[in-house]
Structure 1
Amino acid sequence: MSEPIDWMPDGTPYSPRFGDRYHSERGGLDQARHVFLGGCGLPAAWADAQQWRILETGFGFGLNFLVAWAAWKADAHRPRLLHFTSAEAFPVSADDMRRAMPEDPALRPLAEKLAQQFQGLLPGVHRLCFEQGQVLLTLYIGDAQAMLRRQQTTADSIYLDGFSPALNPGLWSADTMRALARHCRRGTQLSTWCVARTVRDALAQQGFQVRKVDGVPPKRHNLHAIYDPAWQPRGPGAQAPQAVTPRRCMVLGAGIAGAAAAASLARRGWQVTVLDAASTPAAGASALAAGLFCPHVSPDDSQLSRLSRDGARLTLAQLRMLSAQGLLRPGTDWDHTGVLEHGVQATPRLPRGWQSPGPGDYWSRPADAWQLAQAGLPGDAPACWHAQAGWVRPARLVQAQLALPGVRWQGNACAQRLVRVQSSDHQAWQVFDASGTLLAEAELAVIALGPATNALLEHSLGVQACWPLQPIRGQVSWDVHTGASLQAMPPFPVNGHGNLVPAMPLPGGESRQGWIMGSTFERDQTALPPSLQDQSAAHAANGAKLSQLLPRTYESLQGFFSAPPRPTWGAVRVASPDRLPVVGPVSAQAPGLWALTAMGSRGLTLSLLCGELLAARLHGEPLPLDAKLAAALDSERLQGRR
């Protein structure tokens, strides 16, 4: 449930939990502008920086974030990326956020954009994207002290905010100040309206140089502090890698993983060249006519469930951003339809502890009678509805990302071997083809070659560098719609035992549509195209899945599955032993060489999130997901299994 809010006669929001206003009767804008933004020396302190990272305790209605965002927009010398990270144990509802919107004309449209995304805030880490991915809000939903201890981030500025120490003592405790200090670099500035002696002493004990400054009425004084301990700091902030200067990058592989890495790095200022052996992008598994992005559910809310929610949120955000830039067409290249999951093999079970109504409903909930009827399923069918899900044409997504500024495409470039070149003033990777021709050179190289990853690692670093990746061939059945087949389809995609995209645009005219059903999972099979015998077996397998998933739809397509086999569409994906993606450096002995691979069958849900994770790790940014989840994807987990 969202945090309940009362409203004072003057329209100020009031917290029944803490027994206090969210801000003074004079409004919170002066405090946001002068205590926090100005108190941390902003915007002057961030002038011409590559990125700036603000860490806040107590998000409330987001006034401090809105003021920082507006200042960023208005500043000609703004940083390329603005990161705003905030901890909030009791998030308000989007409706209450709209009611509390400031009247300021510069802030009101930003507040509306914030409210649109301020949904589904289950405990954990959530990444919200604005300004084409250049303003990134990372929300830590949970107890601030606990969340700060768990996450790995570095702050350039700290906003110490929240209800007063008398009403919310945990937020101002010595343990919270210790947790905050972990995320500071030497020189991090902190500002707050609270000048309580206990807070000043706790900050000083953690290495902050603390002083009172003139306050913003009705306060006589505010507090300013700079992190400058007499000892050598050892927290994540002090251990963060040295800032990387964006230069040249080459991404090997032009599928959805490679394109995601290229887009994320280009947004951070890299000049990215994407190389692929094919003559066109998305020639491998990303050439699938259409696929689904969708959350996964499990009673224990497993790693995959949480990861897929993060992926679905970020995928939707980036699809909307690319559409706003005119690079994708909603309804033609992708659609936010929702997805019905029919539990053929096992009943879909929502996480224990989810309450309805609650933030979990934003993601997944039991299917209702209308949804089941539209799918031709009985009213007691085991099914759930994933609201933040839909379909996308992978090749169009790849093409849109490769069209972003800073990205260059290079086809017919079959990478055979990588070589590290190093001198006193120059370090770079060079990639060569089988004939020994130099294809490209760059300071950073990202391998996103799917099933071809190990061949390149072996030729470049030796067989000991290879990872235990399993190739999995998948085949789908598809056809052009007739009027009868289109009428028999549900109005939304369905997954469970296989998945069906019921209607997707096909080349040859906007009215030409098709359906697609699959996919098979043929482990350790790599032959393409599949043999006629394998294609026939794949159609039989896909038909059998559809007969259980959607019996009514299967009956309408009997002519397809009982006719002589038609060609399937097939490709090879790759998976790690734990079926999670691989994101991170290839080896400590190969600096500047990273990998983004092993998306398995969830590339459309996870690739864009993993591209952001790669860029965040490289640049020492706040991570777009929980630190433990990020560690579960780290390439280092495979080191002992080479």
Structure 2
Amino acid sequence: MSDNLPSEQKKLASPDLSWNDQGLPVSQQFDDPYFSVENGLEESRYVFLKHNHLPQRWKGHSGEFHIIETGFGTGLNFLMTWQSFVEYKKQSDSRKRHAQKNNDPETEWLHFTSIEKFPLSKEELQQAMSLWPELATFTELLLQQYPLTIPGFHHLVWPEHKVRLTLIFDDVHNALPQLSGPVHAWYLDGFAPSKNPQMWTDSLFQQMRRINNRSPYVHSTVATFTAAGIVRRGIKGAGFDIRKVPGFGRKREMLAGEFSLSCGPEQPSFYREKPWLIPQLPKIPTPAPQAPISDQTPGNDNILVIGAGLAGCSTARALAERGHTVTLIDRLGIGQAASGNPQGGLYIKLAASDNAMHTQFYLTAFQHSLAKVKEISERGTDSDLWDDCGVLQLAYDDKEQQRQQKFLQSNQYPEALITPVTAEEASKLAGCPQNQGGLYFPQAGWAAPAKLCEQLCQHPLINVERWDVQSLKQNDDASWLLEDSHNNRRKAAQVVIANAYDAKQLLPDAYLPVKRIRGQLSILDSSLVPDIKTVLCARSYMAPARNGLTCLGATYNLNDDEPEVRAQDHITNLNHLQDFGPAWAETDAESVIQGRVGFRCTTPDYLPMTGSIPDTQRFIEAFRPMVKNAKHIPNTEAPVMRGLWLNIGHGSRGLASAPLCAELLAAQITNSASPTGQAIETALWPGRFLLRDMMRRKIT
């Protein structure tokens, strides 16, 4: 599960910048400027836009247009491509308004994937891009979401421009094996081959060939500023018809080319080792222009999502933003089950031990979720949806103190993500005396899950209905038939199951080893308890007061299906108040004015289950040889229930995990580029427990 993770999980090398007399950033390590001394912006346009035939190719291309870049650097190539795409979309929209009938396909989204081993800080990027005031609008939008320099994948989205950026902080030779197609254009940038030979190797070109071979009928082009022989031969070996063309300014030549189908055998890849993850085609078609929701016939929904909690609402939003009509159904309505709490902490608890995959996923998911929640909060009218007040994880007993010390000894993360604090510092942050210090997450805070769910559903392509689905079966035409308790039926081409533990009822034959854990929240009268300024976490969590109420919770009751609020569980929550310092010593049951019960859905490895669902019996038969010999991997796709997808198992971390899982699932359903890479995709795949227990011979 830890294949091809970032080469250094916890610390990235500095870019070691200097600034020359013209204000241009220069790499001291490679003794090379980041862009042309003459006019870096015009050179980028000439090399990468013109010689990948952009923006012309966006007209006539349907769906998502995917670019992979080696060397993000200052972000110049991304920003000028973004600017060009926005101009193209404006012209496209104008054509649509003035044309009586226009059925020509148009690119809906730009997906830009870029790899950077030595990422600039936000301040360095801002200084570098100040040289290009015409890109200032896009630079500011990028800076608002620019991630902390933590190794791994970082997925940024600007839905108003239909642009997404997957920014990978890692060595290119570690990052490319994580990627798959389709890729429509390659930007081979980075420092000159003579200055940075470690990047321009056979490994780079072999991975380009592998990725393009995954989508051999996609029109893929390549452009690079250099005409060095090693690069020309490498690109040709990657399957491109390559040619030399005049370079920019004083540069005599550069390279450009197009991918050819006759490119030879596919290189070993993630899929060769894990054939059960081969994308399951066919996917849903690229969306046509949508009729208003009211004009669409019920029962002909293209995509249907079951479950209107954080997972379901996030999935519906991700699909709708891609242009697909989504019907979201839930027997109770939006945000009424486990996602219905008035407040929840948006933070992550990183493992002290070396659990690289768990850490990498939650780091990636946390930063993406922060950006998404802020975007939804700023777009909506409810100012009481999100508060970035920080989260303080207290070292409330010896065991937790030892865990935090072990974590600090083995981890080096930016202080903007996490920083240790003393008891005195914790007291100032909390606004009340603390007996111990802890770990402080300054970017974190609390969100209102139910309100967030409501805002996620505020999209013209999302239709929400209260509908209690009781059964699910596949029709002969591969569509799915749903039936409720009153024998009402509806049909859908694609179905996403996002109803937590209740997925087991709809999928009795699927292998879903999830647990249902009861949790009771206690809601206190804030006038009777001390004020706090940040979210406090120990055995329970507590958020700052909101509308005169303070949330405290929640209990963990395994094998307990009681839906009603219990006085004993309020007492349990109140007993945990001692973890939050002496100011809470006098708080008693009189302060509790109400409670709420929800049920978490957790998995054995505490990671969500997101992706396609194996057909259990057919999967066992197909991969039975691996039970006797783990190296005997059948060369076959995994048998899955086509058109059926899963997004469950978020436990008590749905605020952090659901938005990224929704993006991943939407990419899988629409056959778009992954926002996470294959290692995380594997770790979240719903069939992992079936395969694991087969290998352990628990299933025969």
- Give the TM-score of the pair, scaled to structure 2: 0.82
Paired residues for 1:277-356 under 5 Å: 277-278=331-332, 280-299=333-352, 300=354, 302-325=356-379, 327-330=380-383, 332-344=384-396, 345-347=399-401, 348-349=404-405, 350=407, 354-355=411-412
Decide whether aligned partners of structure 1 residues 466 and 259 sit closer, same or farther in structure 2, where only a CA change above 3 A counts: same
The equivalent position to 2:595 in structure 1, one of 557, 560, 568, is 568
2:258 counterpart residue number: 226
* Structure-2 separation of matches of 1:243 and 1:454: 25
SS in 1 for 2:542: strand
Return the offset for 1:433.
0.5
SS in 1 for 2:544: strand
2:636 counterpart residue number: none
Whether the aligned pair in 2 keeps the contact of 1:333 and 1:392 (CA below 8 Å) is: yes
Whether the aligned pair in 1 keeps the contact of 2:425 and 2:437 (CA below 8 Å) is: no
Return the offset for 1:567.
4.7
Decide whether aligned partners of structure 1 residues 253 and 46 sit closer, same or farther in structure 2, where only a CA change above 3 A counts: same
Whether the aligned pair in 2 keeps the contact of 1:543 and 1:554 (CA below 8 Å) is: no
Paired residues for 1:228-267 under 5 Å: 228-231=260-263, 234=266, 241=281, 244-246=284-286, 248-267=302-321
Return the offset for 1:405.
2.2
Aligned-partner residue type, residue 64 of structure 1: N
Whether the aligned pair in 2 keeps the contact of 1:447 and 1:595 (CA below 8 Å) is: yes
* Structure-1 separation of matches of 2:568 and 2:122: 50
Paired residues for 1:404-553 under 5 Å: 404-411=459-466, 413-423=467-477, 427-438=478-489, 440-458=490-508, 464-482=509-527, 485=529, 488-504=530-546, 512-530=547-565, 535-548=566-579, 550-553=580-583
Alignment deviations for residues 468-496 of structure 1 (CA, whole Å, 9 cap, x no partner): 211111001112321x52xx222011113
2:63 counterpart residue number: 50
Note if 1:577 corresponds to 2:632. no
Return the offset for 1:49.
2.1
Alignment deviations for residues 267-324 of structure 1 (CA, whole Å, 9 cap, x no partner): 111110011112x311111111110110222333643332222222111211222234
1:375 counterpart residue number: 430
1:590 counterpart residue number: 641
The equivalent position to 1:138 in structure 2, one of 166, 170, 179, is 166
Return the offset for 1:133.
7.6
Aligned-partner residue type, residue 518 of structure 2: R
Decide whether aligned partners of structure 1 residues 106 and 353 sit closer, same or farther in structure 2, where only a CA change above 3 A counts: farther
* Structure-1 separation of matches of 2:262 and 2:391: 56
SS in 1 for 2:652: coil
Whether the aligned pair in 1 keeps the contact of 2:221 and 2:258 (CA below 8 Å) is: yes
* Structure-2 separation of matches of 1:361 and 1:154: 37
Decide whether aligned partners of structure 1 residues 589 and 170 sit closer, same or farther in structure 2, where only a CA change above 3 A counts: closer
2:666 counterpart residue number: 615
Whether the aligned pair in 2 keeps the contact of 1:498 and 1:517 (CA below 8 Å) is: yes
* Structure-2 separation of matches of 1:7 and 1:480: 57
SS in 2 for 1:341: strand
Aligned-partner residue type, residue 284 of structure 2: V
1:193 counterpart residue number: 225
Aligned-partner residue type, residue 26 of structure 1: E
Aligned-partner residue type, residue 536 of structure 2: V
Whether the aligned pair in 2 keeps the contact of 1:489 and 1:553 (CA below 8 Å) is: no
Aligned-partner residue type, residue 87 of structure 2: A
* Structure-2 separation of matches of 1:376 and 1:96: 34
SS in 1 for 2:562: coil
Return the offset for 1:166.
0.9
Paired residues for 1:109-128 under 5 Å: 109-128=137-156
Aligned-partner residue type, residue 551 of structure 1: G
Of residues 587-596 and 386-395 in structure 1, the stretch that sits farther from structure 2 once superposed is: 587-596
Decide whether aligned partners of structure 1 residues 451 and 146 sit closer, same or farther in structure 2, where only a CA change above 3 A counts: closer
SS in 1 for 2:503: helix
Alignment deviations for residues 13-49 of structure 1 (CA, whole Å, 9 cap, x no partner): 1111111111121131112111011111111112242
Return the offset for 1:352.
5.0
Aligned-partner residue type, residue 201 of structure 2: S
Paired residues for 1:159-198 under 5 Å: 159-184=187-212, 185-186=215-216, 187-198=219-230
SS in 1 for 2:198: helix
Decide whether aligned partners of structure 1 residues 437 and 304 sit closer, same or farther in structure 2, where only a CA change above 3 A counts: same
Return the offset for 1:376.
6.5
Aligned-partner residue type, residue 126 of structure 1: H
* Structure-1 separation of matches of 2:224 and 2:52: 9
Return the offset for 1:161.
0.5
Aligned-partner residue type, residue 661 of structure 2: C
Return the offset for 1:553.
4.1
* Structure-2 separation of matches of 1:414 and 1:191: 53
Whether the aligned pair in 1 keeps the contact of 2:577 and 2:585 (CA below 8 Å) is: no
* Structure-2 separation of matches of 1:379 and 1:398: 34
Return the offset for 1:523.
0.9
SS in 2 for 1:539: helix
Aligned-partner residue type, residue 597 of structure 2: G
Of residues 69-78 and 124-133 in structure 1, the stretch that sits farther from structure 2 once superposed is: 124-133
* Structure-2 separation of matches of 1:211 and 1:243: 35
* Structure-2 separation of matches of 1:121 and 1:481: 38
* Structure-1 separation of matches of 2:307 and 2:356: 30
* Structure-1 separation of matches of 2:195 and 2:409: 31
2:237 counterpart residue number: 205
Decide whether aligned partners of structure 1 residues 612 and 553 sit closer, same or farther in structure 2, where only a CA change above 3 A counts: farther
Alignment deviations for residues 423-447 of structure 1 (CA, whole Å, 9 cap, x no partner): 4xxx421211123211x32211011
* Structure-2 separation of matches of 1:430 and 1:195: 57
* Structure-1 separation of matches of 2:443 and 2:387: 11
The equivalent position to 1:40 in structure 2, one of 27, 52, 70, is 52
* Structure-1 separation of matches of 2:471 and 2:303: 16
* Structure-1 separation of matches of 2:432 and 2:356: 28
* Structure-2 separation of matches of 1:406 and 1:556: 51
Aligned-partner residue type, residue 504 of structure 2: N
* Structure-1 separation of matches of 2:584 and 2:435: 20
Decide whether aligned partners of structure 1 residues 311 and 156 sit closer, same or farther in structure 2, where only a CA change above 3 A counts: same
* Structure-1 separation of matches of 2:71 and 2:535: 39
Decide whether aligned partners of structure 1 residues 433 and 491 sit closer, same or farther in structure 2, where only a CA change above 3 A counts: same
2:100 counterpart residue number: none
1:388 counterpart residue number: 443
2:621 counterpart residue number: none
For structure 2, the 5+ residue unaligned runs are 1-12, 93-105, 272-277, 288-301, 615-638, 694-698
* Structure-2 separation of matches of 1:284 and 1:95: 42
SS in 2 for 1:366: strand
Decide whether aligned partners of structure 1 residues 138 and 498 sit closer, same or farther in structure 2, where only a CA change above 3 A counts: same
SS in 2 for 1:169: coil
Alignment deviations for residues 589-625 of structure 1 (CA, whole Å, 9 cap, x no partner): 5210111111111111111111111112223333222
Return the offset for 1:105.
4.7
SS in 2 for 1:109: helix
Paired residues for 1:92-107 under 5 Å: 92-107=120-135
* Structure-2 separation of matches of 1:301 and 1:560: 42
Return the offset for 1:99.
1.1
Q: For the aligned residues, what is the CA RMSD?
A: 2.3
Aligned-partner residue type, residue 57 of structure 1: T
SS in 1 for 2:469: coil
